[in-house]
Structure 1
Amino acid sequence: MSEFSKQDPFIRNEREAVIAARSDRLAELFAGRAPRHDLDGSFPVENFKDLRESGYLALTVPQANGGEEASLYELVLAQEHLARGDGSTALAVGWHVALVMQLRISQAWPDSLYAALSQEIVERGAIFNSYASERATGSPSRGGKPETTAVRTEGGWLINGRKTFSTLSPVATHCMVSASVESEDRVGEFFVRIGEGVEVDETWNTMGMRATGSHDLVFKDVFVPDGESIAGAALRPKTPADSDHGGAMLHIPACYIGIAHAARDFALRFAKDYRPNSLNGPIADLPNIQRQLGELEAELITARTLLYSLADRWDRDPAGRAELRADLGLAKYVATNGALRIVDLAMRVVGGAGLSRNLPLERYYRDVRAGLHNPPMDDVALSNLAKRALSSTE
């Protein structure tokens, strides 16, 4: 067995070991803070200070711009290990590093604009996300027209509207905002430097993932100069068409598998240490506990194997990425539903003590449920698999 596989069988080389080790160090810090932020529903600003100082925010920035230029495999590895400490922080920063990677691959922005964002991230620790969701439209992947508007003004545009599920809103410094362009039949995307005219309305109060800062963002006459507007497309049914073909979205299943991994570790420690006086040894010796732990391991190994193998295929075969779209959805489906099963099994192993707010297991139990509501939804993932299977028989 290699030194890398002793740490994690999915760590294959020294660079990956360094990436995982940084995430592990950060995860240990974040785990100690997570109960307070979960209880209060407060945003872990100090976690993002640590992420900034560690260089994590530049994980997917191109090397030419001073970043680490992580591969998809490395992104998944970093995010999964980070989520073992605090799922909320991992999911939140996951949107930042994934979108920076997606833009790196798709080259959808003008080179100068992307370079400027990269420089802000590397030199100043800028934090970036894309805000498209609105209450009236639901998930942007379903194709609703934004009620947020962009109106032409001298030298640029004025943005007005409200975005929901605005993860990272307490610390985001830059964002991409979708808006309906008045007097034109199109939706535009606009690069906004968050400041004057942008307000955070603290609406986020949920059962799980309570510390992602996914509040509403309100835009009031926010000026975007012409050079920082992104070309919009004519209104039509939305289809994810980024040239990375959804690869960067694997940060989502990576996060939920990381949370499930933490639940697994807790259950194993508990089973080995808990010795009720009715037994001669720990509950880990009991056949029914071993069966539950075995089922848990099977779920975790299956989900991780699928996740990392797909990330590796995506990295190795850029020309074949379009063919992986349904498989990427499958990875998310397997990971999020597997995470639910893993944490449920961990709760069964621990028993009634797992319900205690003094232990992290009940937080894991709540947090993994949020994965069902991150894209792609189960119905979309399964429909894409069905359509592919049906087309293969023609």
Structure 2
Amino acid sequence: MELFIRTEQQQSWLKKLQEKEGKFRNLSAQIDEQGIFPKENIQDLVDLGYTKITLSKEFGGEGLNVYDMVLFQETLASYDSNTALSIGWHLGTVGEIYEKKAWTTDNLDFLAQEILNGAIVNRSVSEAQTGSPTRGGRPGTNAVRQENGVWILNGRKTFTTASPVLTYFLTSAWIEEKQSIGFFLLHKDLPGLSVDETWNVMSMRGTGSHDLVLEDVKVEDSKLIELPDKKSPAKFGGWALHIPATYLGIAQAARDYAVHFANHHTPNSLNGPISQLPNVQQHLGEIELELAQARHLLYSVATAYDDEKRRQYLTNEIAIVKHTVTNSAIKIVDKAMRVVGAKSLQLTNPLQRYYRDVRAGLHNPPMDDMTIKNLALTAIKAAENK
């Protein structure tokens, strides 16, 4: 990781996170086994000021970029995947909002002040009937405007990560009169808004990705924050690179465990540890290769995105990163388990947790089939225009 540290600020933040390493690692197994949300970990990050690092400087934050976020999120995920993915959605959402500045100044000022005071925000867009919003489905959640200018929202959202600690839900809803999707900024304490604790899965068990339920939720007109012009699938932007960074962090943790095991496990059939065996070295070498390739791709694209002059030339690279890094992470954990052998299947062994958690990456947007299809269509279109 030292190869990718560029600034003293990055070094300083990594040191702050490293001070939480022991605590976060020690809680990780319990979070997984009991399926509990790591509220204490998240509060530690809020207290560190971590939740305002992607808030732009002009609004009181640290104004850190995508590269910084990726660096920190990968490190955090190697300690605890649930904590990293949960806080990553907040960091990415905030970074995107204050990069685009598509909201009114009053709304940007309002949310910034809330974030500075410890608020946590995430988008709530997925639904059981529409699936991933990146596929372009129209939300079943609807918003109807009353004559007094108040909106009434009804619907149910799924996969609302970090729901136990969210202060604000940036929620998509279909507005019939506008024939468009709008996003409303909903405070957790609004009457009619509730969280149904439905999250019961084998991977990322502690992310609290429950259902958001809206029953005649009333909200003032000013909280209709975004009104996209087109009914097109959401674009996978650079701030979503926190997703592959998280899975790369899990892979790094699996790699570290496998190397330590190989250096210390000495069966009586050998004169030394299994790290001397050619087949073990083959697995470890392939792990190192996958890690290096995935990491260089991730940080290279993050660097390009942070450069406004180069960003305009990015087409499918963000999706390529997610596809490549996630699938590499799965391979890395699998190879780590081959090194450790049957012990890796013990419920007390962290590798079985890493194995389950990295699988979740396949179901975070964009999906692999969409990435491959878009690559093909881009190539076809480019050839046609020559």
| Match of residue 160 from structure 2 | 166
Find 2:192's aligned residue among 190, 193, 197.
197
> How far apart in 2 are the matches of 1:362 and 1:354?
6
The answer to whether the aligner puts 1:256 opposite 2:247 as a matched pair is yes
Q: CA RMSD in A?
A: 1.5
| Match of residue 351 from structure 1 | 341
Structure 1 residue 239, shift from structure 2 partner: 4.9
| Match of residue 218 from structure 2 | 223
Report the 3-state secondary structure (helix = DSSP H, G, I; strand = E; otherwise coil) of the residue aligned with 1:211.
Answer: coil
Find 1:315's aligned residue among 306, 309, 325.
306
TM-score by length of 1: 0.94
Structure 1 residue 231, shift from structure 2 partner: 4.1
- Of 126-135 and 57-66, more deviation after overlay is shown by 57-66
Gapped regions of structure 2 (runs ≥ 5) = none
Q: Deviations over 1:243-280 (max 9, x none)?
A: xx611011111000000000000111111111111110
Find 2:359's aligned residue among 369, 375, 386.
369
Structure 1 residue 11, shift from structure 2 partner: 0.7
Pairs aligned (count):
382
Structure 1 residue 72, shift from structure 2 partner: 0.8
> How far apart in 2 are the matches of 1:260 and 1:77?
14
Q: Deviations over 1:293-317 (max 9, x none)?
A: 000000000000000011111112x
Matches within 5 A, 1:134-149: 134-149=127-142
> How far apart in 1 are the matches of 2:231 and 2:218?
26
Matches within 5 A, 1:180-195: 180-195=174-189
Structure 1 residue 374, shift from structure 2 partner: 0.5
Change (3 A) 1:132 1:342: same
The answer to whether the aligner puts 1:290 opposite 2:284 as a matched pair is no
Letter in 2 for 1:217: L
User: Is 1:84–1:262's contact at 8 Å kept on the other side of the alignment?
Assistant: yes
User: Is 2:107–2:225's contact at 8 Å kept on the other side of the alignment?
Assistant: no
Structure 1 residue 157, shift from structure 2 partner: 0.8
User: Is 1:19–1:74's contact at 8 Å kept on the other side of the alignment?
Assistant: no
Change (3 A) 1:229 1:239: closer
Change (3 A) 1:48 1:71: same
Structure 1 residue 110, shift from structure 2 partner: 1.2
> How far apart in 1 are the matches of 2:176 and 2:368?
34
Report the 3-state secondary structure (helix = DSSP H, G, I; strand = E; otherwise coil) of the residue aligned with 2:251.
Answer: helix
> How far apart in 2 are the matches of 1:157 and 1:53?
35
- Of 42-51 and 228-237, more deviation after overlay is shown by 228-237
User: Is 1:256–1:371's contact at 8 Å kept on the other side of the alignment?
Assistant: yes
| Match of residue 3 from structure 1 | none
Q: Deviations over 1:97-127 (max 9, x none)?
A: 001000111112112212211111112x101
Matches within 5 A, 1:1-394: 8-123=2-117, 125-153=118-146, 154-195=148-189, 196-233=191-228, 236-240=231-235, 246-316=237-307, 318-393=308-383, 394=386
Deviating beyond 4 angstroms after TM superposition, the runs of 4 or more aligned structure 1 residues are none
Letter in 2 for 1:43: F
Aligned-pair identity in percent equals 47
Report the 3-state secondary structure (helix = DSSP H, G, I; strand = E; otherwise coil) of the residue aligned with 1:121.
Answer: helix
> How far apart in 1 are the matches of 2:180 and 2:68?
36
TM-score by length of 2: 0.95
Q: Deviations over 1:18-50 (max 9, x none)?
A: 122223333432111111111111111111111
> How far apart in 1 are the matches of 2:200 and 2:69?
28
Structure 1 residue 363, shift from structure 2 partner: 0.3
Gapped regions of structure 1 (runs ≥ 5) = 1-6
Letter in 1 for 2:314: L
Report the 3-state secondary structure (helix = DSSP H, G, I; strand = E; otherwise coil) of the residue aligned with 2:218.
Answer: strand
> How far apart in 2 are the matches of 1:231 and 1:302?
37
User: Is 2:102–2:226's contact at 8 Å kept on the other side of the alignment?
Assistant: no
> How far apart in 1 are the matches of 2:97 and 2:64?
13
Structure 1 residue 184, shift from structure 2 partner: 3.5
